[in-house]
Structure 1
Amino acid sequence: MATNDEWLGKVREEIIAPDLPIIDPHHHLWDFPGSRYMLDELNADTQNTGHNIRATVFVECTAMYRAEGPEHLKPVGETEFINGIAAQSASGLYGEMRACAGIVGFADLTLGTAVDEVLEAHIAAAPRRFRGIRHASAFDDSPEVRPTHTNPPPGLFGLPKFREGFARLAKYGLSFDAWLYHHQIPELTELARAFPETPIILDHFGGPLGIGKHAGRRSEVFAQWMTDIVELSECPNVVAKIGGINMAVNGFDWHKRDTPPTSDELVAATGDYYLHTIDAFGPNRCMFESNFPVDKLSCSAPVLWNAFKKIAQGFDAEEKAALFHDTAKRVYRLG
């Protein structure tokens, strides 16, 4: 869905704690037909917001795959593209914020041990910035829930070939970003227990769904989600990105309103997801994420980061530093 800057501009707020350093650990860049989000747009949503966003981490989204060559190596084109964007940003000509200081790419882990060639190609394409792999597993049998971009089968994390490929990540010192839906969280917990040496990052709270057969069942979904999050948090190799809950699949329908939500409305609707996850994992294993431009469908960057700061108001300075900056810096090994 296309974002609408004019609509987003209907809500403007004074920036809270404008000096607080931030690393945004999850955003995308792309130039798709009818949808463009490149360095200029990213800068507008970071350096021009009033919030002190110092650096970002890019996460794969099928942008700029190679047009030619072996199929399994085509995703390396995305890393080549993003490393170029990162070099642009690192020149300092576009401001102080360092875009794509870390890069998370895609490799088909069902290749098994043959995935080594892909991992090595990603690292060679961005040796200073490549940090991990995301092989999205988000699957739901509700026809209203579109398959995620990797078109995964159900039970991806348990497939022998997937686990064979997953086992290769530790050899290269790479982390794994997990994008799934809420009812798949126990599958991720099993994976984390099986590979305790591999750092795993839970994206978007584990994708609590609010559409299709899950519509109208938010309390029921939330109750089970709470239990599953606590169980997952017992795996010390897992950390959580807290954000990415304003997508259409989450079912809050912000994008259908005449005006976008305020930060207070975002906190009222979603704050319990944040506080429960922080309570389970602890601030040192949580990091606020924008998930832009996907969440930009629902709210502007200034409003979103204001909401995060309101959610974090009860934490001390050290805990806030972890939530907004330090956890991301440590997990993605940013300079």
Structure 2
Amino acid sequence: MDFDMEANSPGEKTLKFHTTTSADSVAVEAEQIVRPDLPVVDAHFHVWNMTGFDYFAPEYLRDVSAGHKVEASIYVECDMGYSDNANAHYRPVGETEYVMRQLKLARGATHDFASGIVGSANLLLGEAVRPILESHLQAGKERFRGIRARIAWDSDPVAGYGKRAGFPSENIVTQAAFLEGTQWLQDLGLILETWGFHTQLRDLCRGAAHCPELNIVLNHLGGPLGVGRYASMRDEVFKEWSAGLRAIAEHPNVHIKLSGVGVTRLGFGLGVDGRNATSDDIVAASSRYVKICVETFGPERCIFGSNYPVDKVVGSYPILLNAYKKMLSDLSDRDQRAVFSDNARRIYRI
């Protein structure tokens, strides 16, 4: 089963499911857990209520307790729980409040659920974004850590999001207002996460230079596109993406998430036919990209994130985490602990 997540209005989403028949589906047997002793902080997960696909704290806690030592997690915005505030710019604060309510469903768990919360705010507001950020901080108490900016834009009608709500209609990362908004994140000691494409990496360097004390976290391997016109340009994209990573990695305040292998736009082909992948399937499809991220940023600036339940389309949580552990098995024990746990604890202050 594969799906595309569409935002219709703040707080409202639908899922477009593409399913195969049960006869076509291939069940994957449970795998032995790779390095069950390795501490893990999952730095990228969501909870949501969508038609046909509800995923709340109890479902997530079942996944993270299925064999791996996943000790804590970081929630990342996904347009859930927006408020009906008369000022639309404040509505995303409702998502932080929504996650705080989810904590009640996680009481008694040994896993530190949503130990950090990354919310949403329109950074193009410039100085006017400050009171919104302060409202997030108040709502999230000691857990609110920053903002994810969906900067993802491309003119290709398949690769780009077009006019879909929640995404820009142009490349906003070099605009003065956006840079002013990021300045307020820095001043308040918050984090900037970005979901963008490889074509924007060099432009994002400007923001990294503008706020050298701001921790910036690139989501989903820096977004190497693999659909639309990019589907037939895999080698060219790999070269451009690799060069973009090298350029932005020159800024020591930038980190990258090893996450999102199931994101359709990356074109890895995982989960698109309704078949569950094995960890070896995931390794074969994405290890080339994951390894370049680690080589470019170094293990000390790479952070694991499951991107669950989006990447549930690829396979079960244990299998997905097995794959990442296999891809990084050549690292020293110290470096593996950095990628899977220590870096997240440091960056998100948990």
Band the TM-score falls in, shorter-chain normalisation:
over 0.9
Which residue of structure 2 aligns with residue 129 of structure 1?
143
Structure 1 ranges of 4+ moved more than 6 A: none
- Judge conservation of contact 2:270–2:282 (CA < 8 Å) in 1: no
- Residue 169 (structure 1) aligned with residue 185 (structure 2): yes
**1-structure distance, mates of 2:123, 2:92:** 12
Task: Pick one of 120, 131, 134 that aligns with 1:106.
Answer: 120
How far residue 216 of structure 1 moved from its aligned partner, in angstroms, is 2.0
Q: Secondary structure at the match of 1:256?
A: coil
How far residue 184 of structure 1 moved from its aligned partner, in angstroms, is 0.9
**1-structure distance, mates of 2:18, 2:157:** 24
Given residue 142 of structure 1, which amino acid in structure 2 is its aligned partner? D
- When residues 187 and 314 of structure 1 are mapped into structure 2, their CA distance, relative to the original with a 3 A threshold, is same
Which residue of structure 2 aligns with residue 10 of structure 1?
28
Alignment of 1:179-190 (within 5 A): 179-190=195-206
**2-structure distance, mates of 1:333, 1:9:** 39
Alignment of 1:27-176 (within 5 A): 27-47=45-65, 49-89=66-106, 91-92=107-108, 95-147=109-161, 149-176=165-192
TM-score by length of structure 2 reads 0.90
Given residue 71 of structure 1, which amino acid in structure 2 is its aligned partner? A
**1-structure distance, mates of 2:33, 2:232:** 34
276-285 vs 101-110, which moves further: 276-285
**2-structure distance, mates of 1:256, 1:178:** 25
**2-structure distance, mates of 1:44, 1:9:** 20
109-118 vs 150-159, which moves further: 150-159
**1-structure distance, mates of 2:96, 2:232:** 40
Given residue 33 of structure 1, which amino acid in structure 2 is its aligned partner? T
- Residue 302 (structure 1) aligned with residue 314 (structure 2): no
Query: Percent of aligned positions with the same letter in both sequences?
Result: 37
Which residue of structure 2 aligns with residue 19 of structure 1?
37
**1-structure distance, mates of 2:223, 2:307:** 12
Q: Secondary structure at the match of 2:303?
A: strand
**2-structure distance, mates of 1:3, 1:125:** 37
- Judge conservation of contact 1:72–1:108 (CA < 8 Å) in 2: yes
Unaligned residue ranges in structure 2 (runs of 5+): 4-16
- Residue 329 (structure 1) aligned with residue 345 (structure 2): yes
**2-structure distance, mates of 1:258, 1:65:** 31
**2-structure distance, mates of 1:68, 1:116:** 17
- Judge conservation of contact 1:86–1:98 (CA < 8 Å) in 2: no
- Judge conservation of contact 2:152–2:160 (CA < 8 Å) in 1: no
**1-structure distance, mates of 2:29, 2:147:** 36
Which residue of structure 1 aligns with residue 8 of structure 2?
none
Task: Pick one of 270, 288, 312 that aligns with 1:272.
Answer: 288
- Judge conservation of contact 1:198–1:237 (CA < 8 Å) in 2: yes
1:36-91 Cα deviation digits (max 9, x unpaired): 111122112211x21111110000110010023311110000000101223442x3
**2-structure distance, mates of 1:25, 1:182:** 21
1:74-131 Cα deviation digits (max 9, x unpaired): 0000000101223442x31xx2111110000001111111111100100000121000
- Judge conservation of contact 1:105–1:133 (CA < 8 Å) in 2: yes
- Residue 196 (structure 1) aligned with residue 212 (structure 2): yes
How far residue 283 of structure 1 moved from its aligned partner, in angstroms, is 0.9
137-146 vs 168-177, which moves further: 137-146
Given residue 138 of structure 1, which amino acid in structure 2 is its aligned partner? A
TM-score by length of structure 1 reads 0.94
Given residue 96 of structure 1, which amino acid in structure 2 is its aligned partner? T
**2-structure distance, mates of 1:195, 1:212:** 33
How far residue 8 of structure 1 moved from its aligned partner, in angstroms, is 7.9
**2-structure distance, mates of 1:17, 1:120:** 40
Unaligned residue ranges in structure 1 (runs of 5+): none
1:189-223 Cα deviation digits (max 9, x unpaired): 12101211111001101111111111121111111
Q: Secondary structure at the match of 1:119?
A: helix
